[in-house]
Amino acid sequence: MAWESAIAAFAAVVGAGFVSGREIWVFFAMHGAAGSLLALGAALLLGVGAWRTAQLAASVPRVAPLWSTIIAIFSFVTLSAVIAAMASLAHARFGLSPVLGGAMAAALAALVQRHGTSALRRWQGWMLLLVVLAVCGTALLGLLRLPPGEMGTAVAPVQAVLAVFGYAAYNVALASDGVRRSAAGQGIRGQRGALLGGLAAGLLLTLEAVVLARSGMTVAVADLPLREIALRLHGALGLGVELAIGLASLSAAASFLQAAADLFAGTWPTAGLAWLASMLGVQAIVDRAYPAMALVALFWLLALVWPSALADRDGPNRRGR
């Protein structure tokens, strides 16, 4: 169905970094009002990229091993950031140390990936609805009630290109596996669904970027900037954002863990290594690794224009992607 490809595109973008606001700050909001316009450009590219990925599902049945490996690496880095976000949330809410919180998050992600993915899929729609409500509620109330903060830095041309194209590129790459599987055999309906899901995630991204930019430098050093805004508005709203971050993180962690498991010979070794990497912290991973991923992923957008660059010419891809 078209909704399956729409949800696949939407869910892949709306992960822990998105709901926490950290990656939205790094790519867009730190540049102030200009960043909000960049977010709108990225929103359009997310939709087009998801649509193109669904369109190629039939003509490129297997992705080249090189791309499969790159996407698996992206998934591992993102998994590490997700575990770090869950650890930061556990520390803020329950006072757990980042080491213990990260270990618990990694173990829970592994257990869900091994035994609970079917149940997670059944509840995915409700989880995504909570995410939408939490982000929209925080953004709209923040724009109405909070005074504007100090504006971010001006955006340079290279930063603008990286923000718009790079952000869209690595999110489309991360979404590619789910979008291709859900759109396979669906024809134009699957393509329209992927376009809708990508655009919906992009519009939510733009709304979040606007409120983060308005908050300015007051949230610049926060691991979970959107949570900080929500808590200033109302404790119940902050709790809703925390719940959205936790559920989105768990769903994303299980998905990225599955995608990265072949890199390190199984679920539990991958979860353990991601836990170790997560000790770098949310800010270090997102602020440094995500822009690097965005640069590499720009080639993925080019590959979507020339599908032959994606195809596995050597037969079945043993990575199963």
What are 3-62's pLDDT values in tens digits? Answer: 888 888 898 888 767 889 999 999 999 998 899 999 999 999 999 999 999 998 878 878
User: pLDDT band at 72, cuts 50/70/90?
Assistant: very high
Cα dihedral sign for 121, 14, 206, 210? positive
Q: Name, in order, each residue with C-beta under 8 angstroms of 75's C-beta and a sequence gap of 6 or more.
A: 174, 255, 256, 257, 259, 260
Number of residues that make up the chain: 321
Structure tokens at 2: 């078209």
Q: How many helices (H) and strands (E) does the chain have?
A: 16, 0
User: pLDDT band at 288, cuts 50/70/90?
Assistant: very high
Average pLDDT over residues 250-272: 91
SS3 63: strand
pLDDT tens track for 105-162: 999 999 999 887 777 777 888 889 999 999 999 999 999 998 988 777 778 888 899 9
pLDDT of residue 178: 87
Q: Is the pLDDT of residue 320 over 50?
A: no
Q: Is the pLDDT of residue 274 over 80?
A: yes
113, 121 contact by CB (below 8 A) = no
Question: Which CA distances in Å does 176 have to 5, 18, 46, 61, 209?
Answer: 10, 18, 11, 12, 24
CATH of 2-309, one of 3.30.70.270, 1.20.1740.10, 3.10.580.10, 3.40.50.2020: 1.20.1740.10
Number of other CB atoms surrounding residue 155 within 10 Å: 20
User: pLDDT band at 321, cuts 50/70/90?
Assistant: very low
Cα dihedral sign for 3, 4, 9, 15? positive
pLDDT of residue 136: 96
pLDDT of residue 318: 46
Which of 15-19, 272-276, 301-305 is most confident?
272-276
**Separation of alpha carbons 316 and 321, rounded Å:** 9
HEC-encoded secondary structure of 276-319: HHHCCCHHHHHHHHHHHHHHHHHHHHHHHHCHHHCECCCCCCCC
CA-closest candidate to residue 112, choices 10, 259, 264, 257: 257
pLDDT of residue 183: 86
DSSP character at residue 123: T
| Side chain identity at residue 146, one-letter code | L
pLDDT tens track for 172-222: 999 998 898 888 878 899 999 999 999 999 999 999 999 999 998 888 889
